[in-house]
Structure 1
Amino acid sequence: MKHIILAAAAAVALGGTAQAQDLSIATGGTGGTYYPYGGGLAELIGRHVEGASATAEVTGASVENMALISRGDSDIAIALADTVVDAYEGNGQFEGRAVDARALGSIYPNAIQIVTLADSGIESLSDLEGKRVSVGAPGSGTEVNARRILEANGITYDDIDEQRLNFNETADALRDGDIDAGFWSVGPPTSSIMNLAATRDIRLVPLSDEEVQAGIAQHGTFAPYTLRAGIYEGVEEPVPTIAVPNVLVVHADMDEELAYQIVMNMFENVDELIAVHPAANDTTVEFSLGATPIPMHPGALRYYEETGAEIPDRLRE
């Protein structure tokens, strides 16, 4: 059973003689941020957590990842905060099947990025009505976010021709004229949009203050966010949008020492993650304690307590 093996891996970290274990990190598609970030975390664990190694797995992202944690098929997962809350509370797509998950921390925000070609005529959220729109891969946090943002602003799937494509498929479909716009919920900048912008003139569709506030009212894990000018080729002005924290999640029964070692080494060697992807610039104790939406694993709490940071009551069981 995977969690028994986890305890064995932790025993090595404590100086025991158990056989090293390769931990599975559930990430997302190769065109987003989850996969490179998860790969960087896997390398970091292999270098610094004694007796443990890790492998980043390509998945359908947030919703699938929480199911993998629930079944014990993955040891660590990256998932969007709103999906994590739904899974922890047994709501939404997890109705009646709550996941016994705990957080290691929040690692960076996912920005909702609505991309279209510059000559599409799509300049606002309402312009998506009647258009072919990729809302993200099935089982992804992007689709959860896209549906919530649209519905919060009076747009349903009945109003668009929705396509369920992953990030690379969305970029290819935009490039080839097979869709009119696509949603990304990902840490910016992301490779699939960068590659698209290198071959086509793109536009990032802004959200108005009213649209952002409607999203926040719909789900409390949303927060205002601005995509900086120059983030992609051809994007010359800041673009207001909305963001959701990404949470590093494990099952509640992960060994405490192993959880502690992962969190401690992640923060104390974060420069190694930044070298893999700039999203890790937001991987800080301050961001984690302010953005994590479910209780922390006891091993993670031990590290945060050692930093002397003030820990919100909501993060304790």
Structure 2
Amino acid sequence: MKLLHSCVAAAALVAFSFSAQAETRVTYKSAKTSSSYYQMAVQIAEAMKEASNGDIIVTVEESQGSVQNVMEAAVRPGNYVFTTPPVLVKLAKGGKAMFEKRANPKLGEIRALFPIPSLTMHFVVGEDSGIESFADMKGKKILIGKGSFGAKEGAKYLKLFGLEGQVELADVELSNAVPALKNGQIDGFVTAGSYPAPNVIEAAAGTGVNVLSLSDDQIAQTKRTKLVIPAGTYAGQDADITTTSLPVVAYTTTQMDDDTAYALTKSFWDQKAKMGKGAAWWNGVDKDLLSNISGKIHPGALKFYDEVGYTITDAQR
């Protein structure tokens, strides 16, 4: 009997060990919990678990920002995945700008996996505001917020387009933009986020708005990536909106093995349509966004892209 118990215990231990080995754990460093990008991370974690039948477990961690995410790539062991605009990875590898005093050769081991929704600029104005172009903002009251990427970009664009000091900037929190627009306290607001943006959906459905398009010349001045929001994305939007964006990509490092990188990348693209049914921002992600990746893509991810025939440049290999 003792021998039988010993055999059963040994078999259970072997089974447990095999299960532990089969399970792959990944840390996904995202954004603040209040951000839409944190919600995306949770959706990705759920999608990875489902696609792998529980073999890939993704733990989502809150972050204070993309710079922190990049810097941790130099010290985090194992399967570390993080999100950031590609431009920050480029600066980090070159030891430039905010990374000048924090240069680390380990940052050269960062590799891309897949694109996620871009930060998309929205210049939202009330239908009855009389604003049909940027020039029409002169003398109007616009909310751009404070401290965020959208606020900084909004101020930058006003300066670029000759509107600095010509627009009254509303002293209202961006979270109150929709009621402020509805109550006539402001003529419009600036927001940046994945599209369709929840606050723009709310404003379009409740009060009626126009989202301004930028000309090719204006986009060139901003030095940002062109993005087209398809007609019908927002209520009352009959035409495409041409605006700017800041691409965002999920990255890892060379510490991740090829099989794990392949599984994560394949699971992401396989589950993207399903995720899009639950959150429309995934519908704005397609293979064309791969062109926004500067630097190298992880070999495991490359294997998937080559299998499905997605275009990858020599510089990305």
TM-score by length of 2: 0.72
Q: Which amino acid aligns with 1:39?
A: V
**Cα distance in structure 2, aligned partners of 1:260 and 1:235:** 39
Q: In the comparison of the two structures, how many residue pairs are matched? A: 295
For residues 245-265 of structure 1, what are the alpha-carbon distances to aligned partners after superposition, in whole Å with 9 as ceiling and x for unaligned? 331123453444322221121
**Structure 2 residue aligned with 1:6:** none
1:113 counterpart letter in structure 2? H
Structure 1 equivalent of residue 150 of structure 2: 142
Superposition TM-score, scaled by structure 1 size = 0.72
Q: Which runs of 5+ in 1 are unaligned?
A: 1-11
Structure number with the bigger relative contact order (C-alpha 8 A, sep ≥ 6) is 1
Is residue 52 of structure 1 aligned with residue 60 of structure 2? Answer: no
In structure 1, the partner of 2:9 is: none
Corresponding residue to 1:111 among 108, 116, 120 = 120
Task: Confirm or deny: 8 A CA contact 1:88 1:294 kept in the other structure.
Answer: no
Match of 2:201 in 1: 194
Q: How much does 1:65 deviate?
A: 4.5
Q: Is the 8 A contact 1:61 1:141 kept in 2?
A: no
Question: How much does 1:287 deviate?
Answer: 1.9
Identical-residue share of aligned pairs (%): 24
Gaps of 5+ in 2: 1-15
Q: Deviations over 1:225-268 (max 9, x none)?
A: 33333322233443332234331123453444322221121123
**Residue identity in the other structure for 2:85:** L
Counterpart-to-counterpart distance in 2, 1:275 and 1:315? 30
Q: Structure 1 residues 199, 289: closer, same or farther in 2, change over 3 A?
A: closer
- 1:15 offset after TM fit, Å? 7.0
Q: CA RMSD in A?
A: 3.9
CA distance in structure 2 between the partners assigned to 1:181 and 1:41 by the alignment: 33
Are 1:230 and 2:232 counterparts?
Answer: yes
Q: Is the 8 A contact 2:26 2:80 kept in 1?
A: no
- For residues 80-159 of structure 1, what are the structure 2 equivalents within 5 Å? 80-97=85-102, 100=107, 101-128=110-137, 133-135=142-144, 138=147, 140-143=148-151, 145-146=153-154, 148-154=156-162
**1:17 alignment partner, SS class:** helix
- 3-state SS in 1 of match to 2:21: coil
Return the alpha-carbon distance in structure 1 between the equivalents of residues 284 and 149 of structure 2. Answer: 19
Report the Cα distance in structure 1 between the residues aligned to 2:283 and 2:157, rounded to whole angstroms.
Answer: 26
Query: Once the 2 structures are TM-superposed, how far is the Cα of residue 102 of structure 1 from its aligned partner?
Result: 2.4
Q: CA deviation at 1:296?
A: 1.4
Q: How far off its partner does 1:92 sit? A: 4.3
- Higher radius of gyration, 1 or 2: 2
Contact 2:142 2:167 in 1 (8 A): no
Q: CA 1:115/1:62 → structure 2, altered by over 3 Å: closer, same or farther?
A: farther
Task: Give the direction of change, closer, same or farther, for the CA distance of 1:274–1:19 in structure 2 (3 Å limit).
Answer: closer
Assess, with a 3 A threshold, how the Cα gap between structure 1 residues 282 and 75 changes in structure 2: closer, same or farther.
Answer: same
**Aligned-pair CA distance for 1:189:** 1.3
| Equivalent-residue separation in structure 1 for 2:165 and 2:97 (angstroms) | 17
- Specify the SS of the correspondent of 1:262: helix
Could you tell me whether the CA contact under 8 Å between 2:23 and 2:57 is conserved in 1?
A: no
Aligned partner of 2:280 in structure 1 is: 278
